[in-house]
């Protein structure tokens, strides 16, 4: 995570693809970190139509 912050601060690129509404690319930091696509989609779907 520290390396990602340093990369973002110095180059503007954290080292993984940017977020977009189609793929919802997200970096998951954990004991086994990595890029995931649309994490917890089920939780986001619960909010459809609520505003």
Measured between alpha carbons, how far is 10 from 45 in angstroms, rounded to an integer?
Answer: 36
Bridge-partner residues for 35, per DSSP? Answer: 27
What does DSSP assign to residue 49? T
State CA 10 to chain mean position distance.
19
Q: What is the mean pLDDT of the chain?
A: 93
| CA 11 – CA 29 distance, rounded (Å) | 20
Across the range 26-50, mean pLDDT stands at 93
Looking at residue 22, its pLDDT comes to 94
pLDDT at 51 over 90: no
Q: What local confidence, expressed as pLDDT, does residue 21 receive? A: 93
Is it the case that residue 34 has pLDDT exceeding 90?
yes
Give, in order, the Cα–Cα distances in Å from 9 to each of 3, 13, 16, 23, 42: 10, 8, 14, 24, 32
Over range 17-29, report the average pLDDT: 94
DSSP state letter for 21:
T
């Amino acid at each position: 995570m520290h390396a990602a912050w340093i990369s973002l601060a110095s180059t503007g690129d954290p080292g993984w693809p940017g977020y977009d509404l189609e793929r919802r690319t997200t970096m998951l930091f954990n004991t086994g970190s990595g890029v995931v696509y649309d994490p917890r989609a089920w939780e986001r779907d619960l909010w459809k139509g609520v505003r």
